[in-house]
Amino acid sequence: MTDEPTVNRYSPSVRVLHWLTAALVFTALIVGFALANALADRTVLLAVHTTIGALILVITIIRIANRVRRRAPAMPSTVGRWERRVILGSEVAFYALLLAQPLLGWSMLSAAGVPVTVGPIALPPIAPVDAGLYALLRNGHSVLAYALVALISAHVSAVLLHAVTLRDGMLARMAARRWSTVGSR
């Protein structure tokens, strides 16, 4: 007999999309904070930030479609009913933020009259040019960025709790194979 927890893993494609999203969001946040505080020409930062935001939007739509089609793997027995509800709520919050944030950014640039391009592709404006609307959307985009940082912090903290304290294999559900023993007994 072994006391190793049985780990029900997400599919490789789900894991790749998860970690790709994480890398893109991390980069978008860094570039976004640099953009908000840039004193010099912001053109390159804006182009990078906009492209990353568009990628996040597309990947999130793919992830949601995939999540609707496929159930998540079973959670470890250490996860109680209340925690399952919190996990589901945080998943919904993540998807909502990952959709809202790029759409708010796109709307914000549209309201400022700034053309939105992703590489060679010019996206249509999705908001009327309006200085007051721009200011409102810019504040909303900033608030959601901080909300995303808070949600990421809570997510990472919960994963570390499971990996280091509970050692129930929760991290292995989304980790690459070489990391799958971290947080297991």
Per this entry, what is the length of the chain?
185
- Give yes or no for a contact between 94 and 151, defined as CB atoms under 8 angstroms apart: yes
Domain range list for the chain? 12-173
Q: What is the CATH number of domain 12-173?
A: 1.20.950
> What are the average pLDDT values for consecutive 10-residue runs of the chain, which has 185 residues?
64 95 98 92 94 98 96 90 96 98 98 95 98 98 98 96 90 76 52
Residue 81: both structure tokens together: 């009913």
Q: Which residues contact 38 (CB under 8 A, 6 or more apart)?
A: 45
Hey, what amino acid is at 135? Answer: A
Output phi, psi for 179, to 5 deg.
-100, 0
Distance CA 127, CA 134 (A): 9
Q: What is the dihedral of CA 59, 22, 107, 116, to 10 degrees?
A: -70
Quote the CA–CA distance of 177 and 185 in Å, as a whole number: 16
Contact 45, 55 (CB under 8 A): no
- Report pLDDT for 2: 44
Cα separations in angstroms, 68 against 8, 61, 63, 65, 71: 18, 11, 9, 5, 7
Report the pLDDT value the prediction gives residue 184, as an integer from 0 to 100: 54
Q: Is 163 helix (H, G, I), strand (E, B) or coil?
A: helix
pLDDT reported for residue 178: 58
Three-state secondary structure string covering 18-70? HHHHHHHHHHHHHHHHHHHHCCCCCHHHHHHHHHHHHHHHHHHHHHHHHHHHC
